[in-house]
Amino acid sequence: MQPTAAVVGVGSEEGLGAAVARRFARGGFHVLVGGRTIERLERVVKSLGEGNGTPVLMDASREADVLRLFQVALSPGAGRSPASVVVFNAGNNQHIPLQQVSAAQFEDFWRVGCFAGFLVGREAANLLAAQW
């Protein structure tokens, strides 16, 4: 069975999340590629090579989406095992001087960088602890 990695926060093909996904694919992993834009996810999955990836449309700051991703991650697929690696790469920060950051912008940054990280981390801990 092929090992599986879940990479959360994959955007463009040129981004860090896509690079991490490609590295796992080169290492023999099937990669669950999680992000908010299906067209981008499909391009990244295509770049992994035939059968090496699965796009998972999700918003890491929505608990229901994170739980759905981990349902996929827990379930073995065609020739792949449940995920044994989870990478969180979601982010939406912008270079804005602190004095100009609105409360709404800060809350949005926090939701993606911190709250989403908590959701993914909690579910990753549950997934990985069950494998020990």
* pLDDT at residue 24, as a whole number: 97
DSSP letters along 30-90, please?
EEEEEES-HHHHHHHHHHT-TTSEEEEE--TTSHHHHHHHHHHHHS-BTTEEEEEEEEE--
Domain count of the chain?
1
Model pLDDT, residue 78: 80
Supply the range of the domain harboring residue 76: 2-130
**Mean pLDDT by groups of 10 residues along the chain of 132 residues:** 93 89 97 96 95 95 97 88 95 92 96 96 92 76
- What is the per-residue pLDDT for 29? 96
State if pTM tops 0.85: yes
Per-residue confidence (pLDDT) for residue 19, from 0 to 100: 96
- Which pLDDT does position 83 carry in this prediction? 95
Question: What integer pLDDT is reported at residue 130 of this predicted model?
Answer: 81
CA torsion angle 86 89 91 96 (round to 10): 140
* pLDDT at 90 (0 to 100): 93
Check residue 48 and give its pLDDT.
96
CATH code at 60?
3.40.50.720
